[in-house]
């Protein structure tokens, strides 16, 4: 299997096998060198600390977080807790699932995303209607805000689990200020209930929002005033900005982070967050793109969250750039007119 080029060879020729083995050995050497970064501070070449975190789907991913020396978790996709159940998971079941994760990673921060069910992630027991365009349909926060009991079950479980570690909470698929305010209001309602019940909770739980829709990009300044942090979800943001489904091979040339429209969106989000004094992170796959990382540093991204195997490589890339060098590259990238031009520029500058 040639994972770099997404190819599987059933009966490779000896020459092909030889070249793939060579590539594998080179990769193993690189991996071995990267191990030396473990335990070291994670900074740019001119000393700015950057968080490199992991994305997880549950307790089974915690080992990889530790093995790859991630500073924390920037995205815990809680919908996997729902996908692993045959019926609605109870508050106690969810409490245990969240508690195990935050407790085993404490004092590291764990950013938990509330349920992002719908579209490509569905469960039969929710009995969601068939939709022609599920990615633009009834999903994520839209479900949570209309099925308040369902949402409250999760939020109560999260607040209870927050007592056992360092938890932040964020909401997916936000498209308006009202949605963010309503989600925060339900969270506060749960907090008040649990306080009245005498349940212990974490003290300083930060509340943030994912920025993964063009609507959120355009009102990023208003959203920033209402939350503690942003986490950019490029997987959805690229798709919704370019109107290109991430799973559709026919138009995959449009599904690229290098398009000027996407780059300008990223800059706008990060700068809006920085201006409002809130932390801006990224948990979409683009955070693990070594070509993009210098631009994100230039604009002020503070937290990069990715699948665990990419962490050490990202730390290496980040350590090779100064802010001034990133700024120079970012300026050139924004002056490009096409995605191909941007990509060629970033490739020529790659370290």
Q: Under the rule (CB under 6 A), what is the footprint of ligand PEP?
A: 75, 77, 116, 212, 233-236, 283-284
Check: CB of residue 319 under 8 Å from CB of residue 42: yes
DSSP per-residue string spanning 168-204: EEEESS--SHHHHHHHHHHHHHHHHHHHHTT----SS
When the beta carbons of 114 and 166 are compared against ligand PEP, the nearer one is 114
Q: How far is the CB of 163 from ligand PEP (least distance, A)?
A: 26
Q: Which two tokens stand for residue 231?
A: 């986490």
Q: What is the sign, positive or negative, of the torsion defined by CA atoms of 291, 292, 298, 304?
A: negative
283 binds, among Mg ion, ligand PEP, none (CB under 5 to 8 A by kind): ligand PEP
Q: Report which of 226, 108, 231, 100 is spatially closest to residue 158, judged by C-alpha positions.
A: 100
| Placement of tokens 């969240």 in the chain | 98
77 binds, among Mg ion, ligand PEP, none (CB under 5 to 8 A by kind): ligand PEP
When the beta carbons of 44 and 154 are compared against ligand PEP, the nearer one is 154
What are phi and psi for residue 161, nearest 5 degrees? -70, -25
When the beta carbons of 92 and 120 are compared against Mg ion, the nearer one is 120
Q: How far is the CB of 172 from Mg ion (least distance, A)?
A: 6
Q: How far is the CB of 26 from Mg ion (least distance, A)?
A: 33
| CA pair distance 141, 179, nearest whole angstrom | 8
When the beta carbons of 212 and 325 are compared against Mg ion, the nearer one is 212
Residue 118, interface with Mg ion (CB under 5 A)? no
Burial profile 95-107: b = 16 or more Cβ within 10 angstroms, e = fewer: bbbbbbbbebbee
Q: How far is the CB of 22 from ligand PEP (least distance, A)?
A: 33
When the beta carbons of 37 and 217 are compared against Mg ion, the nearer one is 217
| Near Mg ion by CB under 5 A: residue from 61, 69, 212, 293 | 212
| CA pair distance 227, 286, nearest whole angstrom | 23
Per CB under 5 A, which of residues 214..243 are in contact with Mg ion?
A: 233, 236
Q: Which ranges in the chain belong to alpha helices (H)?
A: 14-34, 62-67, 79-83, 91-105, 141-146, 148-161, 177-196, 214-218, 220-224, 234-242, 260-276, 293-299, 311-318, 323-334, 339-349
Residue 293, interface with Mg ion (CB under 5 A)? no
Q: How far is the CB of 115 from Mg ion (least distance, A)?
A: 12
When the beta carbons of 282 and 297 are compared against ligand PEP, the nearer one is 282
Q: How far is the CB of 233 from ligand PEP (least distance, A)?
A: 3
Give the interface with Mg ion as residue ranges (CB under 5 A).
212, 233, 236
């Amino acid at each position: 299997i040639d994972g770099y080029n997404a190819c599987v060879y059933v009966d490779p020729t000896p020459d092909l096998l030889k070249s793939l083995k060579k590539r594998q050995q080179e990769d193993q050497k690189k991996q071995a060198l990267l191990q030396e970064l473990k335990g070291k501070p994670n900074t740019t070449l001119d000393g700015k600390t950057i968080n490199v975190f992991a994305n997880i789907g549950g307790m089974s991913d915690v080992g990889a977080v530790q093995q790859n020396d991630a500073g924390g978790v920037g995205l815990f996709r809680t919908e996997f807790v729902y996908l692993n159940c045959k019926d609605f998971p109870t508050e106690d079941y969810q409490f245990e699932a969240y508690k195990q994760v935050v407790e085993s990673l404490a004092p590291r921060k764990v950013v938990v995303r509330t349920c992002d069910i719908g579209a490509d992630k569905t469960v039969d027991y929710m009995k969601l209607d068939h939709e022609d365009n599920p990615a633009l349909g009834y999903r994520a926060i839209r479900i949570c805000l209309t099925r308040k009991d369902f949402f409250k079950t999760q939020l109560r479980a999260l607040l209870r689990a927050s007592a056992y570690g360092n938890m932040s909470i964020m909401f997916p698929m936000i498209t308006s200020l009202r949605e963010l305010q309503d989600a925060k209001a339900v969270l506060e309602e749960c907090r008040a209930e649990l306080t009245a019940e005498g349940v212990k909770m974490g003290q300083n739980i930060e509340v943030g929002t994912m920025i993964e829709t063009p609507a959120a990009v355009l009102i990023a300044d208003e959203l920033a005033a209402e939350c503690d942090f942003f986490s950019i979800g490029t997987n959805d943001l690229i798709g919704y900005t370019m109107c290109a489904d991430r799973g559709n091979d026919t138009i995959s040339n449009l599904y690229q982070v290098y398009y000027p429209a996407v780059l300008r969106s990223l800059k706008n989000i990060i700068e809006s967050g920085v201006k409002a004094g809130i932390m801006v992170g990224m948990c979409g796959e683009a955070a693990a793109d070594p070509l993009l990382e210098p631009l994100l540093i230039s604009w002020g991204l503070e937290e990069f969250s990715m699948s665990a195997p990419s962490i050490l490589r990202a730390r290496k890339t980040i350590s090779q750039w100064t802010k001034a060098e990133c700024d120079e590259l970012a300026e050139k990238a924004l002056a490009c007119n096409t995605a191909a031009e941007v990509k060629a520029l970033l490739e020529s500058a790659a370290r």
